[in-house]
Structure 1
Amino acid sequence: MLAALSCVLASSLAAAPASAAPRRPGDGPLPVTGDVVVHDPTMIRARGDYLVYSTHGLIEARVSRDMKHFTRAGDAFTEPPAWWREYSPENDPWAPDISFHNGRYLLYYAVSSFGSNHSAIGLATSRTGLPGSWTDHGVVYATTTGDDHNAIDPDLLVDHEGRWWLSFGSHWTGIRMIRIDPATGKRHAGDRTLYHLATRPDAPYAVEAPIVVRRGAYYYLFASYDRCCAGVDSTYKIKVGRATSPTGPYVDRDGVPMLEGGGTVVLETEGSRIGPGGQDVVFDKGGHLLVHHYYDGEDGGTPKLALRRLAWDEAGWPYVR
């Protein structure tokens, strides 16, 4: 999702060695129209409509009846919570994650500024999930410039035992995870461990935007790698690894640990669809969708929404259709 460092660093990044998902004939991106200029999208189906929330504004909202035509529908918040300004003088929230549990919608999101890990993850809840309906509950987790990680790009996972986990991270030492109390949506008082899921050995350690998905016996960690937010010069790509526990260790298709720079490429630049990343993975109508942004090479590098169907091969690894 919004890369705290990648937007201000030089364009040449040394990519960590990685395996790649098999290339198979596929359907390509699903057709989307309307207001699709988004960054860091998260999507859910709510009361028959598809809701997409994304970076900027007061967490921008878009709605679609058919998952094809999207209309701008205001923002999650009607005014910024007062605590945002501590982390973002511009009151500019990033990288939301929406989910539905226990009769309410939850929206985790980040507040920070470019190039800084003085950052915080917030939580809001809603009975409808609709823009303007959210109640903010303040900070869930924060980092300072003295920390070795960055509290942005949150994603909530509920594991097979019903435990809640929040993954997050960007640059520095990569992807981290904390346990969450389902009663509050905040950090679990009985487990204060800061788990480490993925990093890379090459500066500037460009891995971020984690999404953890449970399927079968495995947990799959999707993350965005390399340079975000640079329009047609972006080198963003989406990689994956898997583990039998939500806290890892995650390895790629070749068995390389994600804590040692591993990661199997799921999606990278395809023609004019440049630098895909900032992803969400959604289960809908019996299958998984990869929801992400890319930079449109035919429109000056404008970030746009894309939806891709995910399939799974015989060994249980995901690939785009």
Structure 2
Amino acid sequence: MTTADITAAETPADPSTWGSKHAHDPTVVRDDDGTYYMFSTDSVANSENIPAGVHVRTSTDLVSWTYAGTALDGVPGPAAEWAGAKGLWAPDVVRWPTGHWHMYYSASTFGSNTSAIGLAVASSPSGPWQDRGLVVATRSGQHSQNAIDAAVTFDSDGAPWLTYGSFFSGIHVLPLDRTSGQPQVEGDLGTVIARRAKSVEGAVEGAFILRRPEDGRYVLFASYDSLFSSYNVRVAVADSMTGPYRDFRGNAMTDLDAPPASVGTKVLGSYQFDGGTGWLAPGHNSVLSQDGPDGRPEHFMVHHVRLAADPTEHEVQLRRLFFNAAGWPVVSPQPFAGREAETLPAPEAVAGTWQVLRFDPYSTDMVHAASAEPVCGVSLVSDGTPVLERLRIAGPQDGSGEAVELDAVVFGSWDWAHGRPALSFSGIDRHGVAWSGTKCETS
């Protein structure tokens, strides 16, 4: 969920200058010709200078983005009439089994659950898009659900499901018709799969479900807390689309009795490396999955994030997403910089000094990287090709005074703070706490 939370004065009036900036709630797809399309929430939709109708950007490398206008000519009539929205939020775009592309967009106003999810269809991500009306609609005082933040997942039988929801009564899933993309049962609002307590205002939204054919599980990503300051991404897994979704420690994502911060395995939050940019409130992610150069599936987490130095400034980032030996998702601490940039010039020992991040699930504070010596596997030497590894971080990094054992992935990355390729890792300890790090340059 988002709003036009920056004013026209703070946003350049010329979208051609934006690049990856001024985008919320992004999703990225790849067309048959190799072009990537990013769809995102309308920024400053009330401004005369900024058009509404789902913002579109294109790229050939997932790094440089060019503004390509809007997918729709403003807010379609049925959605505008239902919700009174001036812009569209959180589009999800997916290739349908019919060969067409479906876009599920949200229309609402900030803080209200009088909301609607609409559907538009096109033969290509470049459009033209034709509106097909409303898919799910909720009304304040009548429904507890909030019809925003749509995402579509195809289950193991190839059947489509819509994930949606936010504050109010949480995240829901409902089955869609394989042909039309509308709910199988008209008026169905689905099954709740994640929710949070009233003590934290029910703060969960921006959900996305990734099906993993490798183990048959469904991975739920969701954003907790405030999009303005404390967003963080949590994950849980289930054996079916309808759940139950459980985190690393076995907590159900619908548990309202456990401490709210203890539920969901936190894999990304606000952080800063020494000498680097402070990234604030990363969240509302989708996942881009495609075949990598070696033919095996590769995944990228696509999300927006704010600048800690100026929280009104925000942009889209893609990060490599891996799965550790136990099948849990772990996220690169470095934004994707392109394949060539992340290629190490020569194999390098994992042992050495690293800048390390620990994502405490009980804190939404900025995580400042700490030095750790050493981080070591079994005398591992890596050329940057992703490898599963048991890592051991020596020293009292978690406050216990004991070394920390991680089920991790070691991979090549781009160290943005120092402008060089570098080894990075991401992993989860035995308590379900996520750690990430980047190796310091060898002197």
Q: Distance between the aligned counterparts of 1:177 and 1:86, measured in 2?
A: 25
Deviation at 1:296, TM superposition (A): 1.3
**One-letter amino acid of the counterpart of residue 240, structure 2:** S
Gap regions ≥5 residues in structure 2: 6-17, 43-51, 273-277, 333-443
Please give the secondary structure, in 2, of the residue aligned with 1:289: strand
Q: Is the CA contact 1:2–1:278 (under 8 Å) kept in the aligned structure 2?
A: no
- Please point out which of 131, 135, 160 is paired with 1:136: 131
Q: What is the CA distance between 1:87 and its match in structure 2?
A: 3.7
Query: Scaled by the length of structure 1, what TM-score is found?
Result: 0.86
1:50 is matched with 36
* Superposition CA RMSD, Å: 1.9
SS in 2 for 1:83: helix
CA–CA distance in structure 2, aligned partners of residues 193 and 94 of structure 1: 19
Give 2:159's match in structure 1, choosing from 156, 163, 176.
Answer: 163
1:191 Cα offset (Å) = 10
Aligned residues: 289
Shift of 1:139: 0.2
Deviation at 1:189, TM superposition (A): 2.9
CA distance in structure 1 between the aligned counterparts of 2:185 and 2:312, rounded to whole angstroms: 44
Query: In structure 2, what residue type is equivalent to 1:99?
Result: V
CA distance in 2, matches of 1:207, 1:236: 9
Does the 8 A contact of 2:27 with 2:92 survive in 1? yes
In the TM superposition, 1:32-181 aligns within 5 A as 34-46=19-31, 47-56=33-42, 57-102=52-97, 103-131=99-127, 133-145=128-140, 146-181=142-177
1:274 equivalent in alignment to 2:262: no
Cα distance, 1:276–1:156 mapped onto 2, change above 3 Å: same
* Cα contact 1:84–1:91 (8 A) shared by 2: no
> Higher mean Cα deviation, 218-227 or 184-193?
184-193
Alpha-carbon distance in 2 for matches of 1:190, 1:76:
27
SS at match of 2:266: strand
- 1:226 is matched with 225
Separation in 2, partners of 1:190, 1:86: 19
Change (3 A) 1:193 1:108: closer
How big is each residue's C-alpha offset from its partner over 1:265-287, in whole Å with a ceiling of 9 and x where there is no partner?
A: 01100121100011111102221
Give 1:275's aligned amino acid.
A
Change (3 A) 1:210 1:300: closer
Taking only the aligned residue pairs, the percentage that are identical comes to 37
Alignment partner of 1:318 is 2:329: yes
Q: Which runs of 4+ in 1 moved over 6 A?
A: none
Task: Check if 1:263 corresponds to 2:264.
Answer: yes
Aligned in 2, Cα 1:155/1:135: closer, same or farther, shift over 3 Å? same
Structure 1's unaligned 5+ residue stretches are: 8-32
| Structure with the greater alpha carbon radius of gyration | 2
Q: How far did 1:83 drift?
A: 1.4
Q: Is the 8 A contact 1:39 1:55 kept in 2?
A: yes
Tell me by how many angstroms 1:192 deviates. 4.2
